[in-house]
Chain A
Amino acid sequence: MAAGRGGAAEAGAGAVPTARAQVRALARCQLLSLYSLAVSAVGALVTVTLMLLPIGVGRLLLPGAATALRRLSDRYRSWTERWTGTRISPPEPLPPAEGPRGRRAVGILGDDGFWRDLRWSWLEPWTGGLLAAVPLGLVEFGLFGAVVQPFVWPWLGPSNWYAFVLVDSTPSMLAAAVLGLLFTGAGLRLAPAALELHARWSSRALSAPYSTELERRIEHLTDTRAEALDERADELRRIERDLHDGAQARLVAVGMALDEATRLLDTDPGGARALLTEVRAGSARALQDLRDLVHGIHPPILTDRGLGDAVRSLALDSFLDVHVSAELPGRLPVPVETAGYFAVAELLANAAKHSGGREVTVRLTHADGTLRAVVEDDGHGGARLDRGTGLRGVVRRLSTVDGTLALHSPPGGPTTVTLEIPCEIRCENPCASSSPKTSSSSGTG
C-alpha cells in the first residue's frame, strides 16, 4: 500500500503544474468521467447476474461479468499508478478458469477482491466520477462563456444568465467572457488536484485488504528465508570443501614433508634442505588459501572501512577503469554492507566479462532510509536478467535483505544497474569502530 510519488509535475500540490500538465490532467479527468459510465454499467451487470443466481443462469454468467469488472478495476489501478505514482496493490487474482463454470462462480462469491470490486463499481461514479467532473464542468462552462456565447448571445433570449451575470448587452457579454476565462483557468488549475484526490480514493477503494498484504509479506519472507538458508548451507559446504581441498591438504603435505626431512637430516642434509624449502612454500600457499577463503566470506576491508572503501578496493582490482563516488553518511548494517559489496563485485565482474566497455562508474548514496548503488558501464548493453545466472544470483542475494535490482540495458548501451536496499545508518561518520568490542559505546542506533 506504499504510496510512492511519481516524478511528474502533475503529482504534487507543491509546485504549480505546467500548462501542459494541466491540460493532460484535464484530459484524464475527461477519461475518468466517461469511464465512470462504463464502471456503473459493468457494476450493474454484475449485480444483475448476482440476482439471477437463484435461477441458475447467474452461475453461468457471473464468471464473465466478474472478469470484466476486474479488468476495469485493473485498468484504474494502472492509470492511478501511471498518472500520480500512487501504487495500488492488486487483490489476489480471481479463481482460475478451469473446471465447470458453476464451481468457478462459487469461488468468485467467496473472493474478497470480487466484493471489493463490486462495492467500488457502485461508489466510483458518485465519488471518482463526480470528482473528475468538477474541473471538467468548470472548463466546459468557462469555454462556453468565453468562446461560444459572444457569438450566440443575441439569440439566447432576454433572460440569459451566465453564472451570476445577466447577458443582455455587449458589455455584459464581455464580462461573462472574462468570467468564462476565469472558470476555465480555475478548472485547469483544479484538474491535477482532482486527479490526486481521485488517486487517493482509488487507493482506498481498490487496494487489496490489509490481510492480503500481510499474507504476501509472509509469503515473501518465507521464500527469501528459505533461499537464505539454502545459500548459507551452500556457503558452508563450499567453505568446508575449500578448507578440505586447500589449507588442510597443504598442511598434511607440509607435515609429511617435515617428517621426511627429519628422517633425511642425518643421511642426506641436502635432500632435507630441499624438502624444507618445499615446506616453506607449502605453508605459504596454505596461508594464502586461508586468506582467499576469508576474503570470499567477508572481505576484511569491509569490516575495517565499510562499503565505500571496500568498493573502492574492488575498483582497484578491476581490469576496467572504475570510478567510485561514495556519499554514505556512516556505516550501514553488516548484512547490508555484505550484500551490497558482493552485488557490486558481481556487477563489476559482469561488466568486465560481457559489457565490452572500458569505464564503469559506481555511485553509492543513502537517502530516505535506502542505500542506492548505481553501476553504469559504457559497454554495448543488451544485458538481460533472464540470461545467465550472474544477475539472478545478485537478485536472490539482495532479496534476503529486501533489496531490489533494476536493470536498464538497451541494445547499444549503456548498461545501468540500480540496487536499492532499505536500511538505516548504523553509526554516523566518523564511525569509531565496527568491532563488537567497542560498538556498544560508539553505536548510535
Chain B
Amino acid sequence: MIRTLQEHGCEVVAAVDNGPALLRALREQEPDVAVVDIRLPPSFTDEGLRATLEARRTRPALPVLILSQYVDQLYAQELLAGGQGAIGYLLKDRVTHTAQFVDAVRTVAGGGTVMDPQVIAKLLARSDARGNTAELTPREHEVLRLMAEGRSNAAIMHTLHIGESAVAKHTASIFAKLRIEASADDNRRVLAVLAYLKR
C-alpha cells in the first residue's frame, strides 16, 4: 500500500498499526490525507473509524479515506454526518484497482467525498423501493449512482463512454427531476445527492 502510494507521487509521513497511535499521528502530523483501515488493534473492531471521528472532532475537514473488509450503512452515515466532505469509505477490494484507488485518495485529499459503490447501491435500492427515483431514465439512474459515489464529470464521461455535454445534460435533468439544488462545487453536489438518497 505504501509502495503504491509512493509510486503515484504521494509522500507517506507516517504508518501506524493501532488506534491510539493513529489518533496521535492524525493530530500531530496533520497529513493532507489519511488512509485508514477500520479494523485496528487493540479492539480489532471499528478502532480506525473511532479514531477518525475523534480526530475530525477537533479538525472537522481532516481528509480521511477509510478502508474496510465490509461496508455498513451506519458507518457511512456516521462518516457523512459532519457534512464537511473530505471523507472516503471504500471496501478493501477496491485497493486492487490501483488507478481508481489513487483517484479516490486524491479526491478525498481535495476535500471531496468518495463512497463505495456498495453503499450507494444499497441507498439507491432503498430510494427505488420508496419511489423516490421513479422519474429517472435508466441512463440518469446510472449517472446518479456515479455522482453519489463521488465521481467527477470527467470520471462519469470515462465510465459511461459519453461526451461532456451528455453528462451535463443528464445531471441537469436529474437535479431538475429530483428538485436538488444544482451546485458547481463537486463536493457539495455529492453531499446533496447523498442527502436526497437518504430520505
Binds B, one of A49-57, A205-213, A430-438: A430-438
Residue of B43, B96, B130 touching A433 (CB-CB under 8 A) = B43
A284-B93, A287-B93 are known contacts. Are A300 and B43 too (CB-CB below 8 A)?
no
Q: B74–A301 contact, CB under 8 A? A: yes
A313–B44 alpha-carbon span in the complex (Å): 19
Residue of B nearest to A286 (CB): B93
Residue of B46, B93, B97, B130 touching A304 (CB-CB under 8 A) = B46
Q: B72–A437 contact, CB under 8 A? A: no
Answer yes or no: B122 CB below 8 A from chain A CBs. Answer: yes
**B104-144 contacts to A (CB < 8 Å):** 122, 126, 129-130
How many residues belonging to B are interface residues under a CB distance threshold of 8 Å? 19
Answer yes or no: A305 CB below 8 A from chain B CBs. Answer: yes
Answer yes or no: A384 CB below 8 A from chain B CBs. Answer: no
- Nearest CB on A from B46, distance (A): 5
Residue of B43, B73, B126 touching A313 (CB-CB under 8 A) = B73
Q: B74–A312 contact, CB under 8 A? A: yes
A316-B77, A317-B122 are known contacts. Are A291 and B43 too (CB-CB below 8 A)?
no
Query: What is the 8 Å Cβ interface bit string for chain B, positions 78-91, against chain A (1 contact, 0 not)?
Result: 00000000000000
How many residue pairs link A and B with beta carbons under 8 A? The number is 49
Answer yes or no: A111 CB below 8 A from chain B CBs. Answer: no
Q: Which residues of B contact A305 (CB under 8 A)?
A: 45-46, 74
Residue of A nearest to B94 (CB): A284
Residue of B45, B70, B129, B130 touching A291 (CB-CB under 8 A) = B70
Answer yes or no: A303 CB below 8 A from chain B CBs. Answer: yes
How many residues belonging to A are interface residues under a CB distance threshold of 8 Å? 24
- Nearest CB on B from A218, distance (A): 39
- Nearest CB on B from A196, distance (A): 48
Q: B74–A433 contact, CB under 8 A? A: no
Q: Which residues of A contact B43 (CB under 8 A)?
A: 432-435, 438
Answer yes or no: B9 CB below 8 A from chain A CBs. Answer: no
**B50-84 contacts to A (CB < 8 Å):** 69-70, 72-75, 77
Residue of B nearest to A310 (CB): B74
Interface centre among A291, A301, A316 (most CB of B within 10 A): A316
A301-B72, A313-B72 are known contacts. Are A319 and B42 too (CB-CB below 8 A)?
no
Answer yes or no: A232 CB below 8 A from chain B CBs. Answer: no
Q: Which residues of A contact B97 (CB under 8 A)?
A: 280
A104–B73 alpha-carbon span in the complex (Å): 64
Q: B45–A319 contact, CB under 8 A? A: no
Residue of A nearest to B126 (CB): A319
- Nearest CB on B from A100, distance (A): 65
Q: B74–A294 contact, CB under 8 A? A: no
Q: Which residues of B contact A438 (CB under 8 A)?
A: 42-43
Residue of B nearest to A358 (CB): B130
Residue of A nearest to B76 (CB): A316
Q: Which residues of A contact B73 (CB under 8 A)?
A: 313, 316-317
- Nearest CB on B from A101, distance (A): 65
15 contacts across the A-B interface (CB closer than 8 A): A280-B96, A280-B97, A284-B93, A287-B93, A300-B69, A313-B74, A316-B73, A317-B122, A318-B126, A319-B126, A319-B129, A432-B43, A434-B43, A434-B45, A435-B45
Q: Which residues of A contact B (CB under 8 A)?
A: 280, 284, 287, 291, 294-295, 300-301, 303-305, 309, 312-313, 316-319, 432-435, 437-438
Q: A313-B74, A316-B73 are in contact. List 4 more A-B contacts (CB 8 A).
A: A304-B46, A316-B77, A319-B130, A432-B43
